[in-house]
Amino acid sequence: NEAEEWLADWLGLDTATHLSELDPDLAADPRLRRGLELWRLGRFGEAKGELEALRRATNSDALAQYQLALTFRDIGLYRSSILCATQIVRLSPITTTFDAPALIARLAYPTYYENLVLQNARQSDLDPLLIFALIRQESLFESLATSTASAHGLMQVIPPTGAQIAAELGWPPDYETADLYRPYVSLRFGTYYLAQQRDRFDGRLEVALAAYNGGPFRAEHWLERAGDDPDLFLELITLDETRLYLQRIKEHLAVYRALWSTTQLRQTSRRFHRPRRNQMANSSPLARLAMARPHHIPTTPNPSHRERP
């Protein structure tokens, strides 16, 4: 395919065939073998520790990163897959993701949980590509992500906000904070809250996003000082994290709009997210976990506080 021909040409390989198959040395690596077995057993925290150690150890090997990006995607370890794909672009002679082959670019900017995203985008009247950009920034599509501020799940909803939204939506009385790790709960609550902020601030998405990250009271204060000037609003944001957050969302959204068409999202997404025939798992343990109430949840720091592609 285009990606493998590009890799072979860049890396000076004799052939572009079978590059997606794990190199024998990589396949035999104890960290990979232990990690995949632990993942199969549902011991996700331990598995991720092994697989992340392998990813970091091969960080300067573009071919290994490509093979691991596919392997991690196939088992549902999406954050690590995204980091691998992003690292390929960093190592390569190209300067931006826009110049990467489509497969690699879409591994770096995927549309996982597509059906849930499209459903909630329609329900909240939001651009689905904006939701994908926000999820990528918030959690890198890791449904079990937990930030240092105790934000949970794909859209990083904090527990007090989650409880408030559950009450407003009339959620079942047995709702608990751990439900925020369930993708359909996180997406429903996150899109509801973002749409609520958008309506509160008269459709000003940049203000709504600032409220999502920095809180509505701060966003209201910045808006009062900026008035109708969106550029001045950005300048008046006093939290560096929120200012960078808005810039990141803008950048992510530009890439998503270049890579994905909302009218053809399902068809294209299936082709690029389809697991390989020789994938190592028939279905993602996280996908199965998504519809069940989690009991023991391994926590993972939000990538916004650690490693950022």
Q: Could you list the active site residues?
A: 138
Take residue 39 and report the two structure tokens written for it. Answer: 């993942």
Q: How far apart are CA 126 and CA 103, in angstroms?
A: 26
How would DSSP label each residue in 6-75? HHHHHHT-S--TTTTSPPHHHHT-HHHHHHHHHHHTT-HHHHHHHHHHHHHHTTT-HHHHHHHHHHHHHH
- List all residues 6 or more positions away from 207 whose beta carbon is below 8 Å from its beta carbon: 197, 201, 219, 222, 223, 233
Q: How far apart are CA 224 and CA 222, in angstroms?
A: 6
Contact 115, 269 (CB under 8 A): no
Contact 296, 72 (CB under 8 A): no
Shortest CA distance to 66 belongs to which of 56, 53, 81, 78? Answer: 81
Q: Torsion-angle region of residue 176: left (phi > 0), alpha (psi -120 to 50) or beta?
A: beta
Contact 121, 191 (CB under 8 A): yes
In 3-state terms, what secondary structure has residue 82? helix
Q: How far apart are CA 123 and CA 146, in angstroms?
A: 26
